[in-house]
Homo-oligomer: A and B are copies of this chain.
């Protein structure tokens, strides 16, 4: 996915195409796992010449989330994690209880359980908790 595409998606969502939004969207799209706002900042600090302020990153992510370009995941760790909304949908996430790593898994779309009357479901999320390979190996340290 190239930058003109990012620009178009931002414009289509009704917002201005700014350096911060492009950088954040690009960063999340290039990462192979969901990132926290701080991780986005780190990545930009390393790979980009213009580094937006931390608050700007929060606001850019919020904007992207509200307009459906990124998704905020349910997490057990303290910081929120975000991933881009792309074609490849309906995947589960694995969260390591030791290192808080979060990674994407292939997953069948889970069935939607019955909801109380008046409730509307917008998204189903499947979270697998456990230990990643590295943490499992070093658990006794």
Footprint of B on A, CB under 8 Å? 72-76, 78, 80, 92, 94-95, 97, 103, 105-108, 110-134, 136-137
Closest to A95 in B: B74
**A112 cross-chain contacts in B, Cβ below 8 A:** 128
Cβ B125 vs Cβ A127 within 8 A: yes
- Counting every copy of the chain, the complex holds 2
Given contacts A74-B74, A118-B137, A137-B118, is CB(A123)–CB(B113) below 8 Å?
no
Given contacts A107-B113, A108-B111, is CB(A119)–CB(B94) below 8 Å?
yes
**A136 cross-chain contacts in B, Cβ below 8 A:** 118-120
Cβ B113 vs Cβ A121 within 8 A: no
Cβ B128 vs Cβ A115 within 8 A: yes
Closest to A124 in B: B128
Cβ B127 vs Cβ A131 within 8 A: no
CB<8 Å pairs between A and B, sample of 27? A72-B76, A73-B76, A74-B76, A74-B125, A74-B129, A78-B80, A103-B116, A105-B113, A105-B115, A108-B113, A110-B110, A110-B111, A110-B126, A113-B126, A115-B130, A118-B136, A118-B137, A119-B131, A119-B136, A121-B129, A122-B130, A124-B128, A125-B126, A125-B127, A125-B128, A125-B129, A126-B126
